[in-house]
Structures are given as structure tokens and as C-alpha cells.
Structure 1
Amino acid sequence: MSTPAEGRIVFEDVSKTFTGRAADTAALRGVSLEVAPGTIYGVIGYSGAGKSTLIRLVNGLEHPTSGRVVVDGIDVGSLQGARLRTAQKRTGMIFQQFNLLETVKVRDNVALPLRLDGVGKTAARARADEVLEFVGLGEKADNHAGELSGGQKQRVGIARALVRNPKILLSDEATSALDPTTTGQIIELLRSINREYGTTILVVTHEMDVIKDLAEEVAVMAAGEVVEQGTVLETFLHPKADITRDFVTTVIPQGIPQRVVEHLGGDGLWRLLLVDDQVTQPLVSDLITGIGVSINMLHADMTEIRDHTVGQMILKVTGTPEQVAAAHAFLEARVAHVEEVV
């Protein structure tokens, strides 16, 4: 079992260039970020952003061209041979396509890393049964992997990644081949691993829904660079980079149809963001009764981001200039963010 002090990952000005026949390809450019021990850290970006290369540097499947990847104080890129193999055993990997042996029993798929380590068959199978029970597949131990559903196969892949008691778990697009319901189940399983064992989890994905439900912090990547990083909540509330806003809008739409904006006019057309207790305030009734403005509610929704509730409203506020100004000041004092819809 990991302790809270284990599992720190630090990228120090890391670049990675792949040499090709026609031209070199820069997969990573000066990436610096830190994953604290015992946390769940997300890296999001579109295809080609460098996410998978980044995660493969942590367990030494790739080595940086420059910079350092430091795991628990050890420069992984400097390791070779037996020292590298020893370090790799402390890191588990979950793959998008499961990478199971379809005609081999589930128990033996999970036990395989231990068998490769030289652990006896009986002990390896016993440990495999333990982790299969943890991921909720104890009754499937004697099935062949090819008989399982996609979600069950991913649980087996997670069990295999856990069988060595790793301090760090790496998830490379682990949910992208799954339906939304199964994705939610896998996210909850990963959160339970983090809670129960204190395992550091580094997740790379192109799905912002996964980030909002799973990660505590996030780095946004584009063209091999980290363009933005911070807590997931802050990133959702105040995205800075255009690509970050694009990802956020897949979870929280940022506006309303332009023809509606043109019909109503931009003055007094505001988008509000509310967090936690703010979502339960009687804002609209207080604006009407207390300030005397008219309110046209155009849109409202709510979502959960990790352990926070985030609400959104788009309002058209009408009144005298003094009333509208008073309404704006009222809202600024009571919600997380107010902005004009343009």
C-alpha cells in the first residue's frame, strides 16, 4: 500500500523529439508540471497534443530529449537495464484497448506481471484474486478475457495494473472506448483506488467530462506544450486559453444562439456562474423585488465538478440604467462570475 509521501511526479522543462526519415517531430516542448503524491492529475488535449508521450516518460517507455522526469526523487530518464525495470514495477499502466490475452483466463491475465517477476503461480493467482475482488470481478476470475464486456475488460486491465501494488497509476485514454455509463463506473473505481490506497493517478484524455469527475488538477496541452494548468474548478470557472474554453464548453455551454443575442440586444444580457451554496440563492426573485428590474431567464443548468456544484444562468436584465447597474453590483457580490454575453 502506498503512503501519502510516495508517488510524486515532476516534469522539469521536458522536451521530446522523434527522429524521422523526412523530418523530426517535436512531441513535447518545454513541459514543466508537478503531480503531488496521492492526487489525481488530469492532462487533456486533442489527438497529437503530446499526452501519450508525456505519460510514457513517467515509466521510462520513452526518454526525454532534454529536461528531466523525476519520480520520487529519481530521474527516470537516466535509468537503464535492471534499475529501469525495477522502477517500472512501481508504476501501473491502464490502456485504452485493454491489452488482454483474450483466450487466457481473467485470473491469469491479472497475475501475468507477477509471474514475469518470478512470483510463484499460487501466490500470483492469490494476489490476482484479491485485486479482482477489489475491482468487482471476483466471480469472473475463471472466465476467459474474450468472454467479457468492454467495461469488464477495462476492470481487468485496472486489476492487472494494481497487482504489483504500484505507487503510481497511469491511465492512457482508459475510458475513450467505453459508453457513458461504463465510463462513470470506471471513474468511480479509479477514485476508490485513490481513496483506499493513496495511489497517485495521472490521467490523459480528450474528454473533459472525465476530467471534471475525476481529476483535482489539470494541465491543458496543445502542440506539445502545456498552455494552461491549475485546479479543475478554477479551470472551469476561468479558462484562459482558447483551447481550454473549447474543452469547457463541451461540459458547460458558454452562450446562447447568436440570433437570440441579436434579437434581445447585448445590454443587460449576462452569463452567471455560481458555485456550491450560491446555486441555492433566490437571485432572480431578489433582483425583481429588491431592485425592480425585469428578468428574462434564457438558460440555466447545473453540473458537478469533483466535489463542487457549478450552476450557470443566462439572464436578460431590463430596467433604468441605475437599476441595471445596481443589479450588476448585486450579482457581482453574490456569484462566482458575471460576464456579458456577446
Structure 2
Amino acid sequence: MTAALRDVSVEVPAGKIFGVIGYSGAGKSTLIRTVNGLERPTRGHVWVDDVDVASLHGAALREAQKRSGMIFQQFNLLDTVRVRDNVAIPLRLDGTKKDEARRRAEEALEFVGLSDKSDAYPGELSGGQKQRVAIARALVRRPKILLADEATSALDPSTTALIIQLLRDINREYGTTILVVTHEMEVIKDLADEVAVMESGQVVEHGSVLDVFVRPQQPITRDFVGSIIQQKVPRQVIDHLGSAGLWRLLLLGDETAQPLMHGLITQIGVDVNMLHAEMTEIHDRMVGQMIVKVDGTPEQVAAARTYLADRVVSVEDLEA
């Protein structure tokens, strides 16, 4: 028997957006399904609002599950049921009166921007619209926790951006705690406050999204960050230029606006070859990266490194 999760311990702050990232088979979907009792751990506890969901059964478990909503990758809508009635399904299962369920379904559809699609059938909607219906259905019980299992994996980039913004709106408007599982680092960057990185059923790294992007510790984390921020240069570039003075500079905040190259040339006197530069925004902080090749005398190169180290987050020697 293979353990899907091993010695996992994660705390998700209330009202935050928490991301779990990992490759297929890492255990991230199993982890998220323990939060609402769809999966039960063989040992350990799953505390949600001071209630151990892992210990609940029957009616007590069903009542606890009402406090969370879940969004799936494949939408899971009923094709023969109108959009409004798809959204109202959880309320109807709870025994809510038809008129009240309809009113709350319409309210949820208005929030996700689909009030004009109430009478449509899922087959008449785009993939992004279907996912918004699924989000409305997850919201209709007004849950305290929203679980998103690869909610953007089946969507194109522009639609993914719309879903990410909608989830951020939900978090801001309702204070809903959101736990999102994904293999896309772009989603984590744009959506989550904190992230846990999973590999082989374990959490191997955990921290704020900004810290994980700026200082990834584990090889798998560096791989994920590398999908957003380039970590290496091609072998043929190193063979042509040589590795001495080949550096990756990481800049944060105001550091990204400094005239670093001008200072290296005019103050230190080295030659600078800018091979790559990029900036990305993470939670209103600019994160910049430069890959440069610095040439000069050994003394000049050493002075250039000291100059940069005083002005940026890190100066890292690069290899292919």
C-alpha cells in the first residue's frame, strides 16, 4: 500500500488564500479533500474551525461539509438542468424551499457575472462560463472555506486570469478562506498569499508566496519558480562567454529601478553584457531578475560583485 500523504502539517490562516502546488501524484488533491471529509486520513487530525473533520461521521460530517464549497477542474454540471438550477442544487439537497433556493442561486450568479445565463443550459456556455457557474454553486451555501482543485487547468490563459480575479473578489468581499490546488506556478503567483510545495506526499517547502519566489529552497520549488523566473542560461552561452562573472541578480521593490549597469560601467569600469532581464509583480511588490556577464580584471570583477551585492537581494553564480 502506498501512502498518499505522509506527516503533512499545514496551517491555513482564516481569510487568506492558500496555495498548494505540486506535480501529478504529489498528494495535493488528496490533501484538499481531507478538509471537507471527502478523504479520511488513516491517522492524524484535520481541524476546521476547532472541529476535527477527520473524526466526524454521518449527519455530523454532512453538516460540517456545508461550511465549505468545492470547485473542480471539470465543472461537474448537469447538462439537462438549467444554470440557475445547477447552482441551487446544494440548497435543494439541504431542504431549502424552492423560492429561497432560486433567489440565492440568482444572487450567486449575479456575483460571478452570469445573471443573464440563468435560463441557459451548460452546453450553451463556454468553458470559462461553466467554471463561473461551478463557482456560483460552490458559493450558494455561503461557505467559510472555498476549496479549488485545479480549477483553472482546463481553461485558456485569458479565462484563467478572469477566474483568478473572481476568486480574489470572493476572498475580499466575503472574507472567505480559499485553499487552491494547482500545478501552475502562474496561478500561485497571481492568487495566493501563502504556498505549500508538495512532493511524494509531503510538504517540502512552505512560506509566503513572495519569500518562496525570492528564495526557493528545494529543487522542486526552484523548478516551479523557474517556470516564471528563468533560473538558468543555455549551455552554449556559457561555452561561448565563459562562466566567470556570469551572474543572476535578484531585485526586490525599489531595487528594480536602480541604474545598476550604468554604475558598473562608469564607477567600476567593467564591461557588461546584459543577457536577460525581466520583472514580475507579486502582491504589489516588484520582483526583478537580470542575467549579466561582467568582464574586467580580477580586481574589477570582484569590485563589481561587491557593488551589486550592496544593492540587490542576491548575486548568484550561474551554470547551465
Q: Is residue 2:4 matched to residue 1:47?
A: no
Give the letter aligned to residue 46 of structure 1: Y
Q: How many residues align?
A: 319
Matched, 1:190 2:199: no
1:162 aligns with 139
**Residue in structure 2 matched with residue 153 of structure 1 by the alignment:** 130
Alignment of 1:172-187 (within 5 A): 172-187=149-164
For 1:217 and 1:262, the matched residues in 2 are separated by: 39
Q: C-alpha distance in 2, partners of 1:137/1:337?
A: 46
- Are 1:87 and 2:51 matched, yes or no? no
Cα deviation per residue 1:208-253 (whole Å; 9 max; x = unaligned)?
1111111111111111011111111111111111111111111111
Aligned-pair CA distance for 1:310: 1.3
Give per-residue Cα distances to partners, 1:238-289, cap 9 Å, x unaligned.
1111111111111111121111112111111100111121111111111111
Q: Partner residue of 2:11?
A: 34
TM-fit CA distance, 1:304: 2.0
Which of the residues 260, 265, 284 maps onto 2:261?
284
Q: Please point out which of 225, 249, 272 is paired with 2:226.
A: 249
Alignment of 1:123-134 (within 5 A): 123-134=100-111
Secondary structure of 2:154 counterpart: coil
**In structure 1, what is the Cα distance between the partners aligned to 2:2 and 2:264?**
56
What are the ranges of 5 or more consecutive residues in structure 1 without an aligned counterpart?
1-23
Percent same amino acid among aligned pairs?
70
1:210 corresponds to 2:187: yes
2:275 counterpart residue number:
298
Distance in 2, matches of 1:80 and 1:111, equals 25
Partner SS state of residue 7, structure 2: strand
Query: Match of 1:259, as an amino acid?
Result: Q
Q: Does 1:221 align with 2:186?
A: no
For 2:139 and 2:87, the matched residues in 1 are separated by 9
| Distance of 2:165 and 2:314 partners within structure 1 | 30
User: What CA distance in whole angstroms lies between the structure 2 residues aligned with 1:104 and 1:276?
Assistant: 50
Equivalent in the alignment of 2:292 = 315
- Structure 2: gaps (5+ residues): none
Report which stretch shifted further, 319-328 or 173-182: 319-328
Please give the residue correspondences for 1:9-88 in structure 2 after superposition, counting only pairs within 5 Å: 24-88=1-65
TM-score calculated relative to the size of structure 1: 0.92
Runs of 4+ in 1 over 3 A off after TM superposition: none
Higher strand share: 1
RMSD value over aligned CA atoms?
Answer: 0.9
Name the amino acid aligned to 1:208. M
Structure 2 residue aligned with 1:97: 74
Quote the offset at 1:308 in angstroms.
Answer: 2.0
**SS of alignment partner, residue 148 of structure 2:** strand
Separation (CA, whole Å) in 2 of partners of 1:305 and 1:182: 20
The equivalent position to 1:325 in structure 2, one of 298, 302, 305, is: 302
AA at the equivalent of 1:253:
Q
| Stretch moving more, 319-328 or 290-299 | 319-328
Distance in 2 between residues matched to 1:269 and 1:117, nearest whole Å: 63
CA distance in 1, matches of 2:15, 2:280: 25
How far did residue 147 of structure 1 move? 0.8
1:110 matched to 2:69: no
Shift of 1:315: 0.6
